[in-house]
């Protein structure tokens, strides 16, 4: 089966900083593939290389069966790209923006209207409004419509949900889900771990290294230890107390609670009394399931050159 994206050992440096080191992965056709990682992890650089906007210093990359270095002209006809920051013409109206991108790609709004209908219908009532005067969520819908108007085979979305409210974010992912029926491969990056669950597969990326590539479920299952959640009214004090204990391996804040791992993977018998010594009387401890974020933190902690190799091996096995 042909891969939508196939890369091997991509490296990219900017001066002394390494943006991407030895990135190898592949994306299947009509898959929703997510890049998850904090700011500065190298997500944008990777997306720019995939969209032929940048060349890697070394390594091979094929997108939709075409070489990014030599066949970029043909490739650019089949990619829909939505950059990280809003990059439509603010002084053009909603309608004019959409029409402009349609003509640039040699098509018309009418021709592919059914593809964008679900998204564009939300903003169509405001089609005479200048794009610069739209709200964040509406801008994002317009940008997605523009990126889709030529029915691309690959849709690349760089942090589409950053700076958008929670409701619009959820709506946005619903829309992406609906696009599956058109067999469009979707590549999306996000700093929000909770969005990872809505992808078919995700790649965790940190400091230019791929930490893991798998389905969101498998990524969670990869968590190596038993995880416990500890709750207390004073979360800050609780973390300090937990970190001071000999039995604690890691402890990170997670929503209302603190996620902790202990030596021997079980709750220390005298945990409550140890915490009481530090003035915490209301601690409630129970075992919990690891999320993507827990796995990410775990990978970050152990990430070294050796670890990168094992992830690569894992990717190859798939």
- Residue 117 Cβ vs other proteins, minimum distance, rounded to whole Å: 22
CB-nearer residue toward other proteins: 60 or 96: 96
Within residues 28-67, the interface with other proteins by CB under 8 A covers 48, 51-55
Residue in 25, 33, 81, 120 binding other proteins, rule: CB under 8 A: 81
What's the min distance (Å) between Cβ of 285 and other proteins? 48
Determine if 11 is a binding residue for other proteins (CB under 8 A): no
Query: φ, ψ for residue 17 (rounded to 5)?
Result: -95, 140
Between 27 and 88, name the residue whose CB sits nearer to other proteins: 88
Six-digit token string for 5 = 């994206």
Closest to other proteins by CB, 83 vs 291, is 83
Residues 83-142 within binding reach of other proteins (CB under 8 A): 83, 85-92, 96, 99-101, 103-106
The size of the interface with other proteins (CB under 8 A), counted in residues, is 30
What's the gap between Cα 23 and its chain centre? 16
Is 198 a binding residue for other proteins by CB under 8 A? The answer is no
As a whole number of angstroms, the distance between CA 248 and CA 226 comes to 12
User: Beta-carbon neighbour count of residue 315 at 10 Å?
Assistant: 16
**What is the rounded distance in angstroms from the CA atom of residue 5 to the CA atom of residue 242?**
44
Q: Which of residues 228-287 bind other proteins (CB under 8 A)?
A: none
User: What b/e readout covers 170-185, taking b as 16+ CB neighbours within 10 angstroms?
Assistant: ebbbebbeebeeeebb
* Closer CB to other proteins, 130 or 249, in the complex: 130
Residue 112 · residue 148 · CB < 8 Å: yes
Judged by CB, which is closer to other proteins: 55, or 284? Answer: 55
Buried b (16+ CB within 10 A) or exposed e, 114-135: ebbeebbebbeebeeeebeebe
Q: Quick check: 57 and 21 in contact, CB under 8 A?
A: no
The distance of closest approach from Cβ of residue 205 to other proteins in the complex, given in angstroms and rounded to an integer, is: 19
Q: Which is nearer to other proteins, 99 or 200 (CB)?
A: 99
Residue with tokens 């997605």: 144
Residues near other proteins, by CB under 8 A: 48, 51-55, 72-73, 76-77, 79, 81, 83, 85-92, 96, 99-101, 103-106, 146
């Amino acid at each position: 089966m042909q891969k939508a994206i196939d890369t091997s050992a991509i490296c990219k440096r900017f001066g002394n900083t390494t943006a991407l080191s030895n990135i190898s992965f592949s994306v299947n056709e009509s898959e929703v593939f997510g890049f998850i990682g904090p700011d500065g992890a190298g997500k944008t650089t990777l997306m720019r290389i995939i969209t032929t906007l940048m060349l890697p210093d070394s390594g091979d990359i094929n997108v939709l069966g075409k070489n990014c270095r030599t066949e970029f002209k043909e490739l650019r006809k089949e990619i829909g790209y939505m950059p990280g920051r809003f990059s439509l013409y603010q002084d053009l109206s909603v309608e004019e923006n959409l029409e402009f991108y349609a003509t640039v790609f040699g098509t018309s709004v009418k021709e592919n209207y059914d593809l964008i209908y679900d998204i564009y219908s939300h903003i169509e009532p405001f089609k005479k409004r200048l794009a610069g005067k739209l709200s964040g969520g509406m801008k994002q819908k317009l940008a997605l419509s523009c990126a889709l108007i030529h029915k691309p085979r690959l849709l690349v979305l760089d942090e589409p949900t950053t700076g958008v409210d929670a409701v619009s974010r959820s709506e946005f992912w619903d829309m992406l889900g609906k696009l599956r029926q058109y067999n469009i491969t979707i590549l999306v990056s996000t700093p929000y771990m909770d969005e990872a669950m809505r992808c078919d597969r995700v790649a965790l990326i940190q400091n230019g290294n791929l930490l893991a590539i798998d389905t969101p479920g498998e990524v969670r299952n990869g968590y190596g230890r038993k995880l416990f959640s500890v709750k207390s009214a004073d979360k800050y004090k609780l973390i300090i107390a937990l970190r001071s204990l000999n039995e604690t391996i890691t402890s990170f804040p997670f929503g209302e609670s603190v996620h902790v791992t202990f030596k021997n993977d079980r709750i220390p018998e005298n945990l409550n009394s140890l915490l009481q010594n530090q003035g915490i009387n209301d601690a409630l401890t129970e075992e919990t399931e690891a999320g993507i974020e827990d796995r990410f933190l775990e990978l970050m902690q152990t990430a070294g050159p050796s670890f990168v190799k094992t992830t690569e091996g894992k990717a190859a096995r798939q």
